[in-house]
Amino acid sequence: MVRIGRVIATYGRHYDVQEQRAGILLPDASALFQCVRRGKRHDVACGDVVEFEGATGRGVIETVLPRRNWLYRADGQREKMLASNLDLVLVVLAPEPTPSEALLSHALVAAQSAGIEARIILNKNDLAQAGDLSQALNYYRLLGYCVLEMSALENCAALRALVSQRVSLLVGQSGMGKSTLVNALAPQARAHTNTISEALDSGRHTTTFTRYYPLDPAQPGSGGGLIDSPGLQAFGLSYLRPEQIVQGFPEFERLLGQCRFANCRHLTEPDCAFRAWARDDTQRLARLGYLVQLQAASTVKRHL
């Protein structure tokens, strides 16, 4: 029997699919099917709406229905679809472990190029070093990004209002508190979390699969939900063209056309407007570095 469902978890080549009717996920346990993909294809992401053949809790995904949007990263030829059909991307940062601004910048570019709204979450603001991180994030606030400060352990009410009725993906480095935020907001989630030292010592990330947790388990399809994902170390975007990449850097986009050479790579070329603007400012120079890094890794030809 062909059914329609939403992929609520991806484990390597296995997928949990929750059946839906009229676009609404069915809440009962009998609506959950453990599926594989027909033909061993590797094109299924958490959030996908699929047609599947299913009976007694097992199934085979036949077709992935058209996606509204999707977020994916690619390092060279290796591609990984993170999730699809999203309303919001939450990039989670915390003062410890040491946050990577490159990862933040690249995740923001990914969301922008996918046409998905993004917010920056400064988690663990109960820690003393949170003030320094907040100050560093002023640069992003001035660019127009919204930064929400919270503590998953003490108070994350600001996030509750934002995610209600929407499907949000949490992304970020390992140990930032993504799963802890999910547990605080999605009742019955019980996503596995771990102390940072334990997680890093073992060399493994705590969360190893991507999973959707409904905010209202009684109505899994209508109250919105959070998608927890494994920690990332890098967010390669080699599938974007250089001119798409610069659109995710608003401070440099406005300088387009002002370098002496139309094909300026903003490295050592004379009269580079990007470098002139960044000159002695550490944060501007760092951002230019993240831009140049993505452009250099692009595997798509320049169209200039």
d(CA 112, CA 259): 24
Q: What are phi and psi for residue 77, nearest 5 degrees?
A: -90, -10
The reply to whether 100 sits near Mg ion by the rule CB under 5 A is: no
Report what 259 binds from Zn ion, ligand GTP, Mg ion, none; CB cut-off 5-8 Å by kind: Zn ion
d(CA 212, CA 221): 11
Within 94-133, the residues that bind Zn ion by CB under 5 A are none
Within 243-262, the residues that bind Zn ion by CB under 5 A are 259
The reply to whether 112 sits near Mg ion by the rule CB under 5 A is: no
Q: How far is CA 140 from CA 126, 149, 254, 284, 287, in A?
A: 21, 13, 16, 11, 10
Within 170-189, the residues that bind ligand GTP by CB under 6 A are 174-180
What residues are paired with 34 via a beta bridge?
16, 58
The reply to whether 297 sits near ligand GTP by the rule CB under 6 A is: no
| 153 vs 158, beta carbon nearer ligand GTP | 153
The reply to whether 199 sits near Zn ion by the rule CB under 5 A is: no
Q: How far is CA 155 from CA 32, 45, 74, 118, 169, in A?
A: 32, 31, 35, 21, 20
What are 233's two structure tokens? 């170390």
What are 96's two structure tokens? 């410890």
Contact with ligand GTP (CB under 6 A) among 84, 206, 210, 298: 206
d(CA 135, CA 101): 13
Binding mask 184-223 for Mg ion (x = CB under 5 A): ----------------------xx----------------
The reply to whether 97 sits near ligand GTP by the rule CB under 6 A is: no
Within 207-236, the residues that bind ligand GTP by CB under 6 A are 207, 230-231
Binding mask 123-162 for ligand GTP (x = CB under 6 A): xx-xx-----------------------xxx---------
Q: Is the peptide bond before 97 cis (omega within 30 degrees of 0)?
A: yes
Query: Contact positions toward Zn ion, by CB under 5 A?
Result: 259, 264, 266, 272, 274
Query: Contact positions toward Mg ion, by CB under 5 A?
Result: 178-179, 206-207
